[in-house]
């Protein structure tokens, strides 16, 4: 346990064991996903399901630090799995090179938590529906330019992503390493709390960051009447 002695005061030995026994699905291995897998592997999460349909390209290298110039055109899932195993050889990693939609979300079956590091609304909504149907907690993060947000969805208790996200896609045209690093790190922190079962997750509330002037707000969020995902069953 020496490896984890600095974090056990925060999460407890039981919490550490829960991390090591847990399985996290990380949907999306871009700027957010690179941060999330790094922190979760270092903290001792024992099992990963990685899903991303892209290969690394040069425009990723300003912020997606898992990949370097030698990884151009390589599958992100493959390189990310290597990265996790290097950080924590005890971890098991499943790789799924695919773009998530309603027909393939089953690859996440059996996970204890989903971390949404996606960059498009269609995949997000498919993941949201899968999480809701199966009662799996979901840590959402999103970044657009210098704005970012994080929330934890607990199916049946909190609003779901379809309740709170706009109908239009975020345009991920501008992206800076420390910005995705901030949001991805907060997602990883929430994931550790949920998986270890300690402290208070950011559920029923949305952390909203405007880094242009360092405004950080935590806003209560509500279920939306008529939400196509979660309202029928509530």
As a whole number of angstroms, the distance between CA 133 and CA 37 comes to 25
* Nearest distance from C-beta of residue 37 to Zn ion, angstroms: 27
For Zn ion, the closer CB: 141 or 155: 155
Contacts of 24 (CB under 8 A, 6+ apart): 40, 45, 47, 48, 49, 111, 112, 113, 114, 115, 191, 195
For Zn ion, the closer CB: 158 or 185: 158
- Interface with Zn ion by CB under 5 A: which residues? 160, 162-163, 227, 229-230
* Nearest distance from C-beta of residue 161 to Zn ion, angstroms: 7
The upper half-sphere exposure of residue 185, i.e. CA atoms within 13 Å in the direction of its Cβ, equals: 6
Q: Please report, in angstroms and rounded to a whole number, the separation of the first and last CA atoms in the chain.
A: 43
* Nearest distance from C-beta of residue 231 to Zn ion, angstroms: 6
With left for phi above 0 and alpha for psi between -120 and 50, is residue 122 left, alpha or beta?
A: alpha
* Nearest distance from C-beta of residue 157 to Zn ion, angstroms: 11
For Zn ion, the closer CB: 76 or 140: 140
For Zn ion, the closer CB: 146 or 221: 221
Please answer whether residues 38 and 17 qualify as being in contact, where contact means their C-beta atoms are separated by less than 8 angstroms. no
Q: Determine how many CB atoms are found less than 10 A away from the CB of residue 12.
A: 14
For Zn ion, the closer CB: 93 or 160: 160
* Nearest distance from C-beta of residue 221 to Zn ion, angstroms: 10
């Amino acid at each position: 346990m020496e490896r984890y002695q600095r974090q056990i005061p925060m999460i407890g030995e039981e919490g550490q064991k829960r991390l090591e026994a847990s399985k996290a699905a990380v949907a999306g291995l871009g700027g957010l996903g690179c941060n999330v897998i790094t922190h979760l592997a270092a903290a001792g999460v024992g099992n990963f399901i990685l899903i991303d349909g892209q290969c690394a390209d040069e425009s990723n290298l300003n912020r997606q630090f898992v990949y370097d110039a030698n990884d151009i055109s390589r599958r992100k899932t493959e390189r990310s799995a290597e990265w996790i195993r290097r950080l924590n050889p005890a971890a098991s990693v499943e790789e799924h090179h695919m773009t998530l939609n309603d027909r393939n979300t089953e690859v996440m079956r059996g996970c204890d938590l989903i971390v949404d590091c996606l960059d498009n609304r269609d995949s997000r909504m498919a993941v949201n529906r899968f999480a809701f149907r199966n009662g799996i907690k979901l840590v959402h993060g999103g970044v657009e330019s210098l704005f970012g947000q994080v929330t934890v969805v607990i199916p049946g208790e909190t609003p779901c992503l379809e309740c709170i996200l706009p109908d239009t896609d975020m345009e991920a045209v501008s992206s800076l390493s420390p910005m995705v690093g901030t949001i991805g790190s907060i997602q990883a922190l929430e994931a550790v709390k949920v998986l270890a079962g300690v402290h208070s997750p950011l559920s029923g509330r949305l952390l909203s960051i405007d880094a242009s002037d360092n405004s950080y707000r935590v806003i209560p969020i509500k279920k939306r009447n008529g939400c196509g995902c979660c309202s029928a069953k509530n």
